[in-house]
Amino acid sequence: MAKDDLASIMKEYPYMPLRDVVFHTLRRAIMQGDLKPGERLMEIKLANRLGVSRTPIREAIRMLELEGLVTMIPRKGAQVAEITEKDLKDVLEVRIGLEELAVKFVCQRINRQQLEELHRAARSFEEAVRSEDLTRLAEADVNFHDLIYKATGNERLVQLLNNIREQMYRYRVEYLKDEEIRSSLIQEHNQLWEALKDRDEKKAARITQEHIERQQEYILENIMAADRKSE
Amino acid sequence: MAKDDLASIMKEYPYMPLRDVVFHTLRRAIMQGDLKPGERLMEIKLANRLGVSRTPIREAIRMLELEGLVTMIPRKGAQVAEITEKDLKDVLEVRIGLEELAVKFVCQRINRQQLEELHRAARSFEEAVRSEDLTRLAEADVNFHDLIYKATGNERLVQLLNNIREQMYRYRVEYLKDEEIRSSLIQEHNQLWEALKDRDEKKAARITQEHIERQQEYILENIMAADRKSE
DNA sequence: GATAGTATAAATGTATACAAAGAACAAATT
DNA sequence: AATTTGTTCTTTGTATACATTTATACTATC
């Protein structure tokens, strides 16, 4: 079918404005720590480095600014936003609230098919843990949570949660590298699935909260360590 | 004092890049419905209309895009995002969740001074209702809720809530024009204040929820009416 | 008369040019 | 020697020019 061919070609060569390429490039660089907090983002240098003109750079910076990843100093330019412990605490407080809200909705709205999908996702996460393949593991984790998000039936909530989850990368989550944590994650996923299946809002909320709080402790230790090192 | 003079002058003439002026202008136009959903935002026309070049226009559009107020069609340009009843429902679900989270934090963290400020704000809202001055009324309402937001001690949460509150304008909230609603708002504010004073999280959450749900019903009626009219 | 094809116009995407503000450094004056 | 002033250089803010794509309208042909 010609139409399908075209569609697949479109998927292979999706048109993307340079601003979006730059946006994602810079975003990733900030998240991964290649661009460090406080570092200036100078348009000409970035433009030369990425082989584009200033225009797409500027548009990307506007987007990063609105995401809070860079802060603007008038007539001085953009710099990578600082991250403080307070920031992290604030974000995670909000995240807990939103994740609890999400599982509440899921309990109310998830259907059998979605439950099955979620079950499969939990299983493939387990397999990924056993495979010791970190990339696959991360994907499986994202997939599991994506399914939960989708089951909320609330697009805005999904959008907010995805954004927060991406921001978590900034806090150097090398969480999944820890052996002990990986196996406890399996248990958490299974428990969460059970709670959602039983539509037990309270239990689901509790598991979610504990899940994130554990992550928070872990990240705080890491940040503390990183901060001490850099001082 | 020369320094104070300079500071006051700076406050009077704060530097603002054109992109921010354009951003706020367009934002307001969309919120107020001057730019209608689906309407195309053509750069040259906007540039001519606002007396600037395309560059600030484009940067403003990038910001509006990230806020979800405009949607981009590749190589076709920007258009004002459509709003559906589902959108509104989604936003308000999230809003209820976040507002409940907010009052929970406030119950845990508000201090005596903040409580007093809040009380004064509730009083001045009452006065504003009696004054029949709609502008003053809106300001007093915003002020009351700002104080609550601040008392959460969570800047991210404040940011999200402010954003959502601004978005509500899109849904043509002519809420405060209704006599009956105004007086019930006084009661709600007072009840909420009492709950926060007593640090009664459940009561505060309930009041908040009811408050927003009532607004939702009202807005839904309005949107329905508007949609029927435009079809 | 309808349809297809081409040409023209208009809009976005990208690059570059120009203006102005700010920082850094050097020189002069006290 | 220190401070201040002036100059230059860098960088952002804004405008404009160019390229590419898409929409539109008109003409020619069936």
Q: CA-to-C1' distance for A145 and C3, Å? A: 53
Residue count of chain A, please give it: 231
pLDDT of residue A222: 73
pLDDT, residue B223, reads 66
User: In 3D, which of B186, B189, B195 has the Cα closest to residue B110?
Assistant: B195
Residues linked to residue B72 through DSSP beta bridges, in sequence order = B78
pLDDT recorded at residue A94: 96
- Cα R_g (chain B), whole angstroms: 20
pLDDT score at B134:
83
Residues 60-79 of A with CB under 8 A from B: 62-63, 65-68, 74-75
Cβ atoms within 10 A of the Cβ of A41, count? Answer: 20
What whole-number percentage of chain B has pLDDT above 70?
89
CA-closest candidate to residue B118, choices B141, B134, B102 = B141
State the best of B90, B106, B168 to mutate against chain A, taking most chain A CBs within 10 Å. Answer: B90
Give dist(CA B124, CA B111) in Å, integer: 20
Tokens 């005596």 locate to: B112
- Which chain A residues 44-63 have CB under 7 A to strand C? 52-56
Question: How is residue A132 annotated by DSSP?
Answer: T
Residue of A nearest to B58 (CA): A59
Give per-residue pLDDT as tens, A96-120. Answer: 999 999 999 999 999 999 999 999 9
Tell me if residue B101 falls in helix, strand or coil. helix
Nearest to B168 by CA among B198, B195, B138: B138
Q: How far apart are the first and last CA of chain B?
A: 62
Under an 8 A CB cutoff, do A156 and B97 touch? no
Specify the higher pLDDT residue, B187 or A132.
B187
Q: How many CB pairs under 8 A join A and B?
A: 76
Predicted confidence band at A4 (pLDDT cuts at 50, 70, 90)?
A: very low
Task: Say how far A84 CA is from D4 C1', in Å.
Answer: 39
CA of A58 to C1' of C24 (A): 25
Q: Which range, A54-63, A179-188, B181-190, has the best average confidence (pLDDT)?
A: A54-63
Residue A223 corresponds to which tokens in the numbers above?
Answer: 């940040």
Q: In what order do the strands lie in the sheet with A77-80?
A: A40-41, A77-80, A70-73
Quote the minimal CA–CA distance from B44 to chain A in Å: 16
A166 in Cβ contact with A110 (< 8 Å): no
Q: DSSP letters along A165-214, please?
A: HHHHGGG---GGG-HHHHHHHHHHHHHHHHHHHTT-HHHHHHHHHHHHHH
Beta strands in chain B (DSSP E): 40-41, 70-73, 77-80
User: Given A17, A62, A157, which is nearest B94 (Cβ)?
Assistant: A157
Contact A94 B59 (CB under 8 A): no
Q: What is the mean pLDDT of residues A202-216?
A: 93
Q: Distances in Å between the alpha carbon of B71 and those of A155, A214, B227?
A: 15, 38, 20
For A16, A189, A231, B45, the CA distances from B31, given in Å and listed in that order, are 29, 41, 46, 20
Distance from CA of B160 to the nearest CA of A (A): 9
Which A residues in the span 187-206 are in contact with B, Cβ-Cβ below 8 Å? none
Q: Which residue of B has its CA nearest to A86?
A: B154
pLDDT recorded at residue A223: 66
Q: Does the structure show a pLDDT above 80 at B200?
A: yes
Q: What is the pLDDT of residue A32?
A: 84
What pLDDT does residue B1 have? 37
- B42 CB neighbours strand C below 7 A: yes
Residue A231: pLDDT band by 50, 70, 90 thresholds?
Answer: very low
Nearest to A45 by CA among A6, A90, A79, A72: A79
pLDDT tens per residue across span B159-197: 999 989 888 877 766 777 778 888 889 999 999 999 999
CB A96 within 8 A of CB A209: yes
Residue whose entry in the numeric block shows the structure tokens 């609550």:
B148
